[in-house]
Chain A
Amino acid sequence: KEFVALSTRDRIRAIRDLAMSFEEKKHIRWVLTDKQLKLISFLVRVILRCGYSIRSARQTLELWQGIMKEIGGKFGTSVLSYFLFLKWLLMFNIFSFLINFGFITIPLLVYDPSPNIPPNVSFRGLEILTGAGYFNYTVMYYGGYSNETLIGLVDYNMQLAYFFTIAVYMVLCGIALIFSMASSFKENYVLADTVSNSAWQLLCSWDFSITNERAVRQRKNNLRVQLKVNKTCVTNPLLSVKTKSGEREAETLLVPFVVSLMNLVVPLFYSLFNKFEHYSSLGRQIYALVVRNVLLKMSILAVLCYYWMNVVAEKFSCWESMVGQALYRLVIVDFLFLMLGSFFGEFLSNVIGTRLLPRLGVPEFDVARNVLELIYAQTLAWIGIYFSPLLPAIQILKFFILFYLKKVSLTQNCQPPRRTGRAAQMQTIFIALLFFPFFVGALSIVAYTAWRLTPSEQCGPFRGLNNTFSVVGVWIDDLQEIPASQWVVWIYQNVIRSEIFYFLITLIIIVIIYIFWQVTQGRKQLIGQLRQQIVNVSVLHP
């Protein structure tokens, strides 16, 4: 009956969603297509075939499909979510690299292909680790970019290009994160209900995708235990002792080394505490671990940023490149430590668990810790984009190698998780964490740099200006000469620079939020009433 309203193509597509046997579906399809005029069904057929071949092509381009299937089959959906998250972050970096390279680096390389390197500097192998030396004078860092308008086929204003490319990328990232977080939140938190615990466990928790026999047995055991255990909770939250990274040595690799060492060792202590503490549910345990790790990483990053903004910016001449190098070193050393972490976390645990202390058993893949490491790595890249536009390329390589490394480590060393967690809700929490505080923090650092700090005099695209934002002011002044673009000037002066506009917008948004909130409250009441009606109706008509 609903078919009458849809077009033929939609009708055919809707066949798949029917819960009928294949024969019935084919019959409906025959009814829909063969009874139409031959011309219409030919066109519909062509359009459908185009859609199918596009879908086919997109599938061949999909990265790592086979590996994802294998991991999902052996270890379940929660471990798979780590690898999906890694792939998603990789897409951010690929996009960032493409637009940075395309809009900032390529025009410069086309205009001036030979970098102006001082004569006594040559490429030694050490640059790959430290990022200084030869790399300092290339387009890798902020300092390698000129502030001129490049005269070529078109007049290309490097200052505006640099500023707007990075600004647009951050805004797009923010929008993507907000959308992703909102849709994930809607599906996994608002609609989900924590009340129906037992029913959920029973009917929906069986992971049909697991094909490993031992995993299946473990899942069954776990379900049995969970249904038997009554909830006595002994929460013993141990306060974590945070040590600050205060080393400010001249040895450039020492700082990243210490930072990464802390990032590696302290979470292991947290995991150790976990074994001694008792939590009422798996969810609480993971929350505690996540909160501790997040606080640790944020405090490390805060200290480092404070140092860069306040000390490095005053002391050095081409300070943006120095900060870019520091970030480069952090990224590289973090990668080395991630590899070490795999070794200690998974390989050694496996050896200890199987040979030395069989009581501990084979380790499980710690999804929470690994996801947080990914979020931290991505935050470094986001902070670094302003200071080193080609840093995403390093990040892409890093994530690529990390994927294969983690996959091998997982299959060799770990066993499937014994306790079924709420993977979808954890996914929401991780995306929310990625956005706030980490992305917002990175964005704030970059915004603060662009707004408050004076760009260095000798190098980079913003030399000679008071702050980076004044690029836009200069551009607007130039635009005032041209009569055709007066509207841009008007928008800048009356919308972006006026306080009244922001005040009004904030007021309007608050009112809209209030209205939506009231609508939600009303709907909740309606749901309660409808539920009561269902019960009443069934009592009257048993």
Chain B
Amino acid sequence: MGNKQTIFTAQQLDAYQDCTYFTRKEILRLFDRYRDLAPQLVPLDYTNHPDVKLPYELIGSMPELKDNPFRQRIAEVFSEDGEGNMTLDDFLDMFSVLSEMAPRDLKASYAFKIYDFNNDDFICKSDLEKTLNRLTRNELTEDEVRMVCEKVIDEADLDNDGRLSLEDFQHMIVRAPDFLSTFHIRI
């Protein structure tokens, strides 16, 4: 087993292994990545549950995230305070959901939260417009944006309320087999 590390207690590591998809080695490696972002803020001893939050700017500067147009939304969805400042638990949770071992439904519900900019549990037209603008660098005209969003809602909205609920979204994800491999960040 090799209990040579002193960062976490055995119970803490068990809790992390139960609540994420990572192995012990990966958890320790992720801790190192977390600590590398701000060595002066993150202590080397987590046995007494220190309350450390890394600001969003540090998280967003990670090489895995810095080019992702949704990095701010991702950080906001996974952080406790909703602002993007992440504790180690949030950090592990985020990469666990984005890893290749997370099931499709879990990823779909988090993807839904990420695309839901106004946090109202529905992806409405304004959310879609914001998504489209982020994906295409604001270079489509307003008419084109509106047309595409209308088409998306037409195709995916099952219960005809003009916006996408989680069920609509999951129904569409089932028909997109590439989703599992694209909604995936390797770390």
Contact = CB atoms under 8 A, between A and B. Distances in A.
Interaction A to B? yes
B148 A196 contact: no
A224 B152 contact: no
Interface string A188-221: 1001110110111011111111111100110011
B160 A205 contact: no
A220 to B, nearest CB: 5
6 contacts: A192-B176, A199-B172, A213-B67, A424-B177, A535-B159, A538-B161
Contacts of B18: 12-13, 15-16, 29, 48
B53 interface: no
A223 B17 CA distance: 38
Interface in B87-134: 89-90, 92-93, 96, 98, 102-103, 105-106, 109-111, 115, 128, 131-132
Given A200-B176, A205-B178, A539 B144 contact: no
Contact of B156 (A77, A196, A207, A221): A196
A72 interface: yes
Nearest to B105: A17
B9 interface: no
Sort A-B residue pairs by CB-CB distance and give the 10 closest, nearest first. A538-B159, A22-B89, A424-B177, A204-B176, A188-B177, A193-B175, A19-B109, A224-B136, A56-B23, A216-B67
Interface stretch (B30-38, B40-48, B179-187): B179-187
Interface string A31-63: 000000000000001001100110110011000
B7 interface: no
Greatest chain A CB density within 10 A among B70, B80, B93 is at B93
Interface of B: 1, 14-15, 17-21, 23-25, 63-64, 67-70, 80, 89-90, 92-93, 96, 98, 102-103, 105-106, 109-111, 115, 128, 131-132, 135-137, 139-140, 144, 148, 151-152, 155-156, 158-161, 169, 172-179, 181-186
Query: Is chain A's interface secondary structure helix, strand, loop, or mixed overall?
Result: helix
Given A198-B148, A535-B159, A223 B181 contact: no
A73 B186 contact: yes
B140 A224 contact: yes
Given A191-B174, A228-B140, A198 B152 contact: yes
Contact of A195 (B20, B89, B155): B155
Given A17-B106, A208-B98, A539-B160, A200 B148 contact: no
A72 B68 CA distance: 15
A534 B137 CA distance: 36
A23 interface: yes
